[in-house]
Structure formats: structure tokens, C-alpha cells
Amino acid sequence: MTAASFAVRTGGSRQLAGTATLLRFALRRDRVMIPVWVAVDALMVLSMPNTLKSLYGTQAQRDDLLHQMTTNSSLRALVGPVFDDSLGALTAWRVGVYAGALAAVMSLLVVVRHTRDEEESGRQELVSSGMVGRRAPLTAGLLAAAVANGVLALLVAAGMASHGGAGAVAFGLGIAGVGMVFATMTAIVAQLTESARLARGLTAAVLGAAFVLRAAGDSATDGGTSQAFGTGGGSSLLTWLSPIGWLENLRPYAGERWWVLLLFAAAALLQGMIAYELAGRRDLGMSFLPTRPGPASGRLGTADALAWRLQRGGVLGWSVGFFLAGVVYGGLTDGAADLVGDNENAREIFERMGGKSGITDSFLASMVGMLGLVAALYIVASVLRLHGEETSGRAEPLLANAVGRMRWAAGHLTVAFGGSALIMLLAGLGFAAGYGKQVGPVMGACLVQVAAVWVIGGVAVLLYGVAPRLAPAAWGVAGAVLLIGWVGPALDVPQAVLDISPFGHLPKLPGGSMQWAPVLVLLGVAVVLTAAGLVGVRRRDMTT
């Protein structure tokens, strides 16, 4: 290859032209999304010290916790090992894994949004026809993610500083480090796939794998907990294979191992370089994984079939995820219950989440409840497919056929509402496979969640039907419910706040007694909301 053609192939000169403008533009477009993500993640971290103070106030309680963590592999798999007994160290232990994972999800969304999404929609073509270098869009996307992660690191470091400056800086940088490793990984995946949806899905799968590797590693060894207290042992190799594991190996508030930050930097740099290399060598809109041709004629014949065809990939992914989550949580149940059972305050939290009827039942009920909250995200995503179809202009020609709006909406809503019941059912089967006992009651507990999930689905339908421009606010509703459900019990927030969430009204199963009244009321609310939304869909103009 001659020098000239090489220059053409890699994009010629001024490959970063326009990056500053694009970055400003990206931050402007994300002026709501990034602050919300950063705030939620930072809030989750910064609310934790107070909670832990109330949970493990005395030295005896902390000693007890440390002792348990060295002996209980199930709980270590869930939240990671404890390295020290200061409030800072306990905070890093309790939320580090999740704060890192949230930063990773945020980075994934930001990077795909400004790279592959733009190309797939065709918007990039027009933007790139201006004075925009070949690698500028990718650079701007990565910089936007860097800004978001940087602010997050600052907030965490500043907020945690009162518990120790060095630990706070290490913790903040570690969380941002996980974010940036996944930002650059997303940058690579976005070069490989032609579809933004697939790019998001693949990176999320990698994130899931990183989570599992860390969990497996922590469950296998005590991660050095006992070493810190003079009994030997070290981190499992598996935790070193997972960027989320690096965060705990960084040991914020427990003798920071600063060199681990170099690992984050090196990984982000290496992945970034690979992404840059790929981005410079491919054509706009094209990908390294080719798109296969489809059939010349199709069997799709109804709006229902189309809705299923469009959503079946999502349903399949969520089903697998929920089944596996059921298996994992089910498998952890016995061990986790042992540990929590010994701590009065921790038991109280689980009881607030899962009801007062023995710690095993409380633990099961809490985990089932968590999955229910996550299922709310599924139903919002699924219901909002209607919104996506409408705003993309695909609904218009479809509805110009002999397809009533109700028929069209019903197809997608069947997938949304039926799918959420299906994934909860599969979670129940997962528990049955992983735990093996109380199959009936746990299955029942999973299915009861569906009533609350459907209320969230109903809210999404209502927003879409009555105020289509506000339809994305359904994400905010699901997020708020998730926050109340996850953080609420630990913070001991007032019942009035917990009551906002439909999940707060569900009977605590298994263990508690089945109460039909609240479940039926929730189902009624879901029906009313959905019906009102559908009336809106029927009466309003289609937006185009």
C-alpha cells in the first residue's frame, strides 16, 4: 500500500476537525440525560454512609460483619468482600460494584448515542459533510462520556472526603474508571455492528459477564478480607479479569492500591486506540460485522405478528436474563440468609423489603422484589416501542393500511404486558432451579409482582396516549420507583414516600400472607391507566 492510499484509507489529515463543536453539541443534547445519571449514581453512593452508620453502628456489629464476610461466599458474590471496617470502606464495599456498573451503563448509552446511533439514523452523514474529521464524532462521544464520568468522580470524591480524602479520591476515580473502560469498549463495539440496538446489547452482555466474573471471583476467595485481618488469602484471579473487579481491587479506604488506576487507564487507552483504528478504516454507516440478507418474501401478515417480530429479540434477552438472575439469587439464598440473620439491623432492612417471617423468606422476597423493579424497566421499554414507531415515521404508512390504531397498539401492548408476566414467570423458574425449595410460594411471589409492573406499564401507556411528547418521562417514573424500592428500605424513608410506588403495596411474599385486595386494586389501576391511554391514542392526531 502506498503512502497516499494509506492516508486515504485512514481518513487523511485533520481527522479531529470539528471535535470541539461536536462535543458542545453532544453535551447540549444530553443536558438532561447525563446530569440525571450522574446525580442518581452519586446519590446512591453518598446516601450510603448514613445508612451504614445506622446498620453497623457499634464495633461489635462491624466485627461480626467482617467475620461473616470471610466465611460467607454467597454474600460476597452479591456485594463483594469487606476490606476494612471504617464507614468509607463499608460504603465502598456496599455500593462500589453497583456504582461502577451504573457508570458503565451511562457511558455505554452516551457513546452509542453519539456514534452508531447517529450513523444508523443517517444524521451523521449530513454532519460529516461539514468540516468534521473522520474520527471527530467518536472523539466527541468519548469526551462526552469522559465529562460525565469526571463530574461523577468529582462528586463522589467531594462527598466522601469527610470519611478520608485518599479513599474518596480513589473511590471516585475507580467508579469513573469503570465508566471509561466501558465507554471505550462501547466505542469498539459501535464499530463492529451496524445497529445501535445491537451495539448496546452486546456491550451490556459484556458488562453482565464482567459482573458475573467478579461475583464468581469474590465467591471463590475472600478477596483478602482475612488477609487484612492477618489470616492470609488474596483476590481471586477472576476479579482481575473484570473491570468491575478492579474497582474492589483498588481498595478505596482500605490501603489504596493506586497502581490499579493505571490498569483502568491502560485498558481505556488500549480500547480507545483500537476503536480509533477501526473508526479510521471503515466507511460511514458500514460495520465490520456484515448484515445478512433476509428472505425475498415474508410470512408476516398482521400488526400483531409485526409487533412480536420487532420485540421478540428483546423478550428473549430479558427472559434469559431473568431466568439466570433467578438461578443466581436462588443459589445464594441459603448462604445469604445465614449471614443476614445474625445482624439485627441488616435483618431489619430485609424485613422492611421482604416482610417479617424468617430471614430466608425475607431474603427471597427482597430479591423477587428487586427483579420486579427491574421488570418495570422492561415494560417501559416495550410500551415505548409504540412511541418509537410513531416518531420514526414507520407507524404512518402502517396505519394507512387496514390496521386500526387499537389493533396496532394492542399488538405491542400484548408483548409489553404479556412479556413482563413471562419474564417474572421465568425468574420464578430460575429460583426453583437455583433454590429448589418453596417452588410454589416463590413462583406466586414472582407473579404477584406483575400487578405492580403493569401499573408502571399503564403509566407509560397513559403518557404515550395522552401526551406523546412526554412519553419518555415514563423512564423517569420507572427510575423513581426503582430508587424508592432499592434505597427506600435502607434509608428508612417515611411510609408516605414508599406508598408512591405501586411495589410498596404488594404483599411481602413468600412468607407473608397473600392479600388479594391490594393486588386486585393495582390490577384495576393498571387497567384504568391503560384504557385511558388507549382512549388518548384513539382520539389524538398521530404525530409525524
Partner 1 sequence: MTKAISVSGLHKSFGRTHALDGLDLEVETGEVHGFLGPNGAGKSTTIRVLLGLLHPDSGAAQVLGHDPWRDAVEVHRRIAYVPGDVTLWRNLSGGEVIDLYGRLRGGLDAGRRAELIERFELDPTKKGRTYSKGNRQKVALVAAFASDVDLLILDEPTSGLDPLMEEVFQRCVEEERERGRTVLLSSHILSEVEELCDRVSIIRKGQTVESGSLAELRHLTRTSVSAELVGAPNGLAHLPGVHDLDVQGKRVRLQVDTDKLDAVLRQLSESGVRSLTSTPPTLEELFLRHYQEEAPKDAEVASR
Per CB under 8 A, 283 contacts partner 1: no
Q: Are 275 and 288 in contact (CB under 8 A)?
A: no
295 touches partner 1 by CB under 8 A? yes
Minimum CB separation from partner 1 for residue 399, in Å?
Answer: 6
Q: What is the DSSP letter of 543?
A: P
- Interaction between residue 231 and partner 1 (CB under 8 A): no
User: Is 294 near partner 1 (CB under 8 A)?
Assistant: yes
Amino acid at site 502: P
Closest distance to partner 1 from the beta carbon of 410 (Å): 13
Q: Of 108-116, 123-131, 299-307, 501-509, which part binds partner 1 (CB under 8 A)?
A: 299-307
Asked whether the beta carbons of 459 and 474 are under 8 A apart, the reply is: yes
Please classify residue 199 by burial: count the beta carbons closer than 10 Å to its beta carbon, then call 0-12 exposed, 13-18 middle and 19+ buried. buried
The site for partner 1, by CB under 8 A, has a size of: 38
CA of 467: how far to CAs of 159, 221, 464, 472, 543, in Å?
Answer: 38, 52, 6, 10, 11
Give the residue among 375, 376, 369 at the shortest CA–CA distance from 329: 369
Residues between 101 and 120 that touch partner 1 (CB under 8 A): 120
What is the nearest approach in angstroms of partner 1 to the Cβ of residue 194? 6
Among 40, 399, 433, 466, binds partner 1 (CB under 8 A): 399
Member of 5, 59, 494, 541 binding partner 1 (CB under 8 A): 541
Closest to 455 (Cα-Cα) out of 367, 537, 379, 507 = 379
Residue ranges of alpha helices (H) inside 229-292 are 237-240, 243-249, 259-280
Question: Using CB under 8 A, which of the segments 233-241, 260-268, 292-300, 372-380 binds partner 1?
Answer: 292-300
Q: How far apart are the first and last CA of the chain?
A: 49
Q: How far is the CB of 542 from partner 1 (least distance, A)?
A: 4
Looking at beta carbons only, is 286 or 493 nearer to partner 1?
286
Q: Does 467 bind partner 1 (CB under 8 A)?
A: no
Q: Which stretch binds partner 1 (CB under 8 A): 318-326, 329-337, 347-355, 386-394?
A: 386-394
For residues 318 and 323, give the distance between their C-alpha atoms in angstroms, rounded to a whole number: 8
Contacts of 191 (CB under 8 A, 6+ apart): 275, 278, 279, 282, 287, 288
Nearer to partner 1, 2 or 401 (CB): 401
In whole angstroms, how close is the CB of 180 to partner 1 at the nearest point? 29
Residue carrying C-alpha cell 488500549: 270
Nearer to partner 1, 176 or 537 (CB): 537
- Are 349 and 363 spatial neighbours (Cβ–Cβ below 8 Å)? no
Q: Which is nearer to partner 1, 344 or 396 (CB)?
A: 396
Stretch touching partner 1 by CB under 8 A, among 333-341, 398-406, 415-423, 427-435: 398-406
403 belongs to the binding site for partner 1 (CB under 8 A): yes
Quick one: 125 or 344, whose CB is closer to partner 1? 125
Q: CB nearer to partner 1: give 60 or 402.
A: 402
Cα 324 from Cα 515, distance rounded (Å): 28
Phi, then psi, of 541 in degrees rounded to 5: -75, 150
Least separation in angstroms between residue 196's CB and partner 1 is 10
Binds partner 1 by CB under 8 A, chosen from 282, 352, 407, 437:
407
Residues 6+ apart with CB under 8 A from 58: none
Smallest separation (angstroms) from partner 1 to the CB of 520: 34
Site membership for partner 1, residue 291 (CB under 8 A): yes
Q: Which residues contact 413 (CB under 8 A, 6 or more apart)?
A: 383, 386, 457, 461, 530
Per the CB < 8 A criterion, the answer to whether 147 and 27 are in contact is: yes
To partner 1, the closest distance from the beta carbon of 529 in angstroms equals: 23
- 469 touching partner 1, by CB under 8 A: no
Spatial distance between the Cα atoms of 418 and 430, rounded to a whole number of angstroms: 18
Per CB under 8 A, contacts with partner 1 among 182-201 are 194-195
Which one, of 277, 106, 121, 264, lies nearest residue 186 by Cα? 106
Site for partner 1 in 119-148 (CB under 8 A): 120
418 binds partner 1 (CB under 8 A): no
Identified binder of partner 1 from the candidate list 400, 495, 496, 517, rule CB under 8 A = 400
> Footprint of partner 1 on this chain (CB under 8 A)?
120, 194-195, 291-303, 306, 309-310, 392-394, 396-405, 407, 539-542, 544
